[in-house]
Chain A
């Protein structure tokens, strides 16, 4: 990938190449073009010709300050600029939301780092929500966060201290994050969310959600298009590997690297002690090693998961935490083939709790009342 390859010429323009992309030598210019084209191709639906001049289409980009979402922002800003140059208008307007998770993670980026990003990419409208805002009843979409509400913070702390393991905490946090992003999107009239997940990240997600018992909701978590949340999710970076995005971030000018939050880089996370490992981290480690030598296998995992179809039954209810549609047999961890007890005492109670199988694994009974509504 980033090993310099002197003596080879770029497969596209014939100049000296500096990068190997999926076994093809490319020069820097063509590599940057490759990354951008792969992304923009995914956004055909939002081309200028599909937008009416008087009716603006809004899209929301959740920014984690990691290399992937920053790259997506960088590419989209360039894309919008080119649309203006060519046609005088854009196919959509971009909103960026930053979810501040510093309450549960000391190393998480804060609003301070967001300002640097805003200076570099002045185009979009920016807003910030905090993880604890999930406990506020009002919508989360209106510009800057209101002064911190102590009770929301206390509620989030109470919930997280009742969760049994790092795996559970990360799992619950990411479900809350998704819901916050959806709330912001809906309240700011965005028709879709553009997630920054790379191929590698989607493959990680496929296996970690499988390992967490959420195989049933994969079609909604991996595919492009409509979701049970009432708006579409898109993954424009789904054809690019994490390592390609990392290489790209150092090649573009000025580089994106200084903006990238270190806590989301792999080197930082290796330091985490073994007993605090999470399922998500295991899968991250696994696919970062697979993508080294077998990038196509990573892509194939995602392609395979995308083939899964959403359930044909019409679920009458939603999981209380992840909000995915569930049929009765997906409620709780009892009453399926692998539940090897004859007596199903908690079945009635579980129906009342309203959590899907995967969320029931993450949230112990005593923490259920602490969940946001």
Chain B
């Protein structure tokens, strides 16, 4: 069979079957198309403005490495006039993060971008390895996700940067849409489909010009880029990236959604994009969504997310799906029994149960899609809808169960980084927890 020519330049031999639409392209045309599409997303959504300092959340993985490479290329080619810096978070996972951070350090040299590394241990007094030692592998993604979100904001504030870009790709967004349908979490579905998220105080504090960790803008320039194309781009540009997945496996809902997305892509390649499209459209149909503000590009408010590799609720002891199943079943039982007590007179043992379960129902009804009101965490000042933010709540739990001897260790670490705002408040958490 004669080699088919590239569908775009019609001269070179096609070497790449584009995962997104099965177009046959040569290598230069693929690279060009991929970059042109990212450029289109950036300009169509007006993601950047001239003179802006932007931190790239860099993990050393394929997504953030490709993001750094593409942004550097586009910034030079189209003269965005933005200053790019790398920001890495060291979760403290041996055998995973320490290796990938070496990659980031090389990237910093290759792309000539300044790099800042911020560790969970200096921010929170706990590495992820220590957290896992404490809480076990199940549910550890919650800690990591909550901690990482705040860590990126804190790191950005430290750098005097108001905009963080992350490497979330179309597969990630599609996966999150399905995951939040499975979890029944419409507010989060709405947030994760926006290309830009920002915090309310971003507007309020804009005048003072001093960034603090609650006014950081987040955006996802790779939101519509297929994971497979990101891998292809990294391969053909011979980018230096770290390809090992986190050693702590994703929780059940995300794992389940990820498998579905991969299968869907096999059946219909456009399906990933189609799920993203559905997610964006559904975000507009969520009751109380301030949406209805037009198509696509409007920023939604974000608070602490359990996202990232994320899990749903607090500390889970078993599989997340099993936990949620149990909670939902209690609600259902309570509702059913409440009803049955009225209709048929039940025998004594049931009567005893019914009221007790009914109170369960009132405290555990699934979250409604209402707008949260934003305040600040009374402990660390991070933006939160609660009195105490998620990170501080999680820390309180961790510190409570940490043996007294190791609290001394925390103090020692804090002395080294006494500038860290949260570490100081963390001491209070540790103390008040005792």
Contact of A340 with B37 in the complex, beta carbons under 8 Å: yes
Chain B 230-274 interface residues, beta-carbon cutoff 8 Å to A = 256, 260, 263-264, 267-268, 270-271, 273-274
Our pick among B36, B270, B292 for the contact of A361 (Cβ within 8 Å) is: B270
Q: Assuming A296-B329, A297-B325, is B285 touching A309 (CB within 8 A)? A: yes
A30 → chain B closest CB, angstroms? 11
Contact of B264 with A279 in the complex, beta carbons under 8 Å: yes
Contact of B181 with A304 in the complex, beta carbons under 8 Å: yes
Residues of A within 8 A of B287 (CB): 307-309
A34 nearest in chain B by CB position: B336
A340 nearest in chain B by CB position: B37
Q: Mark A296-327, 1 if CB is under 8 A from B, else 0.
A: 11011101110111111100000000000000
Contact of A337 with B268 in the complex, beta carbons under 8 Å: no
A12 → chain B closest CB, angstroms? 8
Complex-state Cα separation, A338 to B273, whole angstroms? 7
B366 interface residue per 8 A CB criterion: yes
Residues of A within 8 A of B285 (CB): 216, 218-219, 308-311
Residues of A within 8 A of B36 (CB): 340, 342
A272 → chain B closest CB, angstroms? 12
Contact of A338 with B276 in the complex, beta carbons under 8 Å: yes
Contact of B329 with A22 in the complex, beta carbons under 8 Å: yes
Residue among B263, B264, B278, B350 with most chain A CB within 10 A: B278
The total of chain A residues at the interface (CB under 8 A) is 56
B288 → chain A closest CB, angstroms? 9
Q: Mark B285-323, 1 if CB is under 8 A from A, else 0.
A: 111000010011100000000000000000000000110
Contact of A341 with B284 in the complex, beta carbons under 8 Å: no
A25 → chain B closest CB, angstroms? 13
Residues of B within 8 A of A303 (CB): 184, 366
Contact of B277 with A357 in the complex, beta carbons under 8 Å: yes
A194 interface residue per 8 A CB criterion: no
Contact of A211 with B278 in the complex, beta carbons under 8 Å: yes
Contact of A278 with B277 in the complex, beta carbons under 8 Å: no
B186 interface residue per 8 A CB criterion: yes
The total of chain B residues at the interface (CB under 8 A) is 56
B337 → chain A closest CB, angstroms? 10
B22 → chain A closest CB, angstroms? 11
Q: Assuming A282-B264, A337-B295, is B274 touching A300 (CB within 8 A)? A: no
Chain B 378-396 interface residues, beta-carbon cutoff 8 Å to A = none
Our pick among A207, A209, A307 for the contact of B260 (Cβ within 8 Å) is: A207
A74 interface residue per 8 A CB criterion: no
Residues of A within 8 A of B41 (CB): 337, 340
Residue among A215, A279, A299, A311 with most chain B CB within 10 A: A215
Q: Assuming A294-B325, A361-B274, is B268 touching A215 (CB within 8 A)? A: no
Chain B residues near A (Cβ < 8 Å): 36-38, 40-41, 44-45, 170, 177-178, 181-182, 184-186, 195, 223-224, 256, 260, 263-264, 267-268, 270-271, 273-282, 284-287, 292, 295-297, 321-322, 324-325, 328-329, 332-333, 347, 350, 366, 369
Can you list 18 A-B pairs, Cβ within 8 angstroms, ordered by A?
A: A215-B278, A215-B282, A216-B282, A219-B285, A279-B267, A279-B271, A282-B260, A282-B267, A297-B321, A300-B328, A301-B181, A301-B184, A304-B181, A305-B181, A330-B281, A336-B280, A337-B41, A337-B297
Chain A residues near B (Cβ < 8 Å): 11, 14, 22-24, 165, 167, 206-207, 209-216, 218-219, 277-279, 282-283, 286, 290, 293-297, 299-301, 303-305, 307-313, 329-330, 333, 336-338, 340-342, 357-358, 361
5 closest A-B pairs by beta carbon, nearest first, are A215-B278, A296-B328, A340-B37, A213-B274, A216-B281
